[in-house]
Amino acid sequence: MFKRIILIVLDGVGVGALPDAGKYGDQDAATLQHVASTVGGLQLPQLEHLGLGRIADIKGVTTVASPAGCWGKMVEKSAGKDSITGHWELTGIVLDQPFAVYPNGFPAAIINDFIAVTGFHPLGNIAASGTEILKTLGEEHLRTRQPIIYTSSDSVFQIAAHEDIFPPEQLYLLCRQVEKLLQPYNICRVIARPFRGTCAADFYRTSGRHDFPKKPLGETVLDKLLLASIPTVGIGKIGDLFAGRGLSDSYPTTDNTDGMRRTLQVLEEHGRGLVMVNLVDFDMLYGHRLDSVGFAGALHEFDRWLSTLYDQLMPDDLLIVTADHGCDPTTPGTDHSREHVPLLAWSPAMKSSIDLKIRQSFADVGATIAENFHVPLATGQSFLDELEGVIAC
């Protein structure tokens, strides 16, 4: 039905706790609603027009009588609540077991393997904020020239190093060594975290971050499309989340603004296939840092940009806006939150709208994309027929 599908993932923009959220300590999470309440209401006219107010009660967002788009929300079927799990499920992979986490630091076996393979005796080995650990251990790193390793509530093995001691390419090589030794431990990602500065007061992380994730544990809709010679473009950290697999083109970005700019550019260059975009600032800059005001500002910026995007879409385009998990800045801790995610779908060809209801897996998005492009995908329930019912002939 659609020649091109644009799938935009708002990283961390959940819309309320899942039924099993209590198992994760997230029973009170509702990212979008809590951000709106904290800032006195959100002004999101474009998302409102698509039907956002039909999904949840969000302060400042009106429930439009006749939305232009189709709306619903989705349940995460996979175990876990990290970005890779969410993105993989959106493309058709459902995980029965979550990735391993080490909230008290990595066990001696991993550290001993690290020393044996790399020759370095790491600093840290704790769960910590990426900015705080630089204040705590950055100066010692400069003295000892040993890398800093740390983790978080996510399944990540992060390596921080000053660019004057470990130039980025050297740091990336170190991460590739670690990626291999961690394979038996089911850790989701190794992340390079280069930084600069001269002392604890002015250390800062550079834009040289690079993720080294596990490869998808099965074929995604991206793989299926690429095999069928249908273009698949990843924008933002999509390339990292899928270990570069299933993409005909990949464009890393520095922030949301860069991601939105790049999306418009890609749409000018690619008239067919799937364009999958991750906008990370909601999660990385605001959710994890408990910054509701910044989170709201990023939502407003995205909403303003949507009107520009609409002007570039053709009648045979489909826009899908969703998320990968929550990251509620108002609940205790800085972790992701186990939440429903919004589902908004719109095409210039739509003559009416429909409630897509509560989808029982993020994989319904992948199934819809697969059915549209006539490729097989074993998981998810497509909602393409429902969209077809509101498309003008």
Query: For position 393, what pLDDT does the model report?
Result: 58
Domain boundaries 4-96+215-388, corresponding CATH code: 3.40.720.10
> Is the sign of the CA dihedral 47, 48, 50, 54 positive or negative?
positive
Alpha helices in the chain (DSSP H): 31-38, 45-50, 52-55, 83-90, 108-118, 130-144, 168-181, 221-227, 238-241, 256-269, 281, 292-312, 363-372, 384-388
Query: For position 345, what pLDDT does the model report?
Result: 98
Query: For position 333, what pLDDT does the model report?
Result: 85
HEC sequence for 223-257: HHHHHCCCCEEEECCHHHHCCCCCCCEEECCCCHH
Amino acid of residue 304: R
CA dihedral 70, 75, 76, 77 (to 10 degrees): -120
- Tell me yes or no: is domain 108-213 CATH 3.30.70.1250: yes
In the numeric block, the tokens 């979008």 are attached to: 32
Q: What is the pLDDT along the chain (393 residues), one digit of tens a residue?
A: 899 999 999 999 999 999 999 999 999 999 999 999 999 999 999 999 999 999 999 999 999 999 999 999 999 999 999 999 999 999 999 999 889 999 899 999 999 999 999 999 999 999 998 889 999 999 999 999 999 999 987 899 999 999 999 999 999 999 999 999 999 999 999 999 999 999 999 999 998 888 898 999 999 999 999 999 999 999 999 999 999 999 999 999 999 999 999 999 999 999 999 999 999 999 989 998 899 999 999 999 999 999 999 999 999 999 999 999 999 999 998 889 999 999 999 999 999 999 999 999 999 999 999 999 999 999 999 999 999 999 975
pTM over 0.85: yes
Query: For position 379, what pLDDT does the model report?
Result: 96
194: which strand partners? 161
Contact 47, 310 (CB under 8 A): no
4-96+215-388 and 108-213 have identical folds: no
Structural domain spans, the chain:
4-96+215-388, 108-213
Interatomic CA distance for residues 382 and 132, integer angstroms: 44
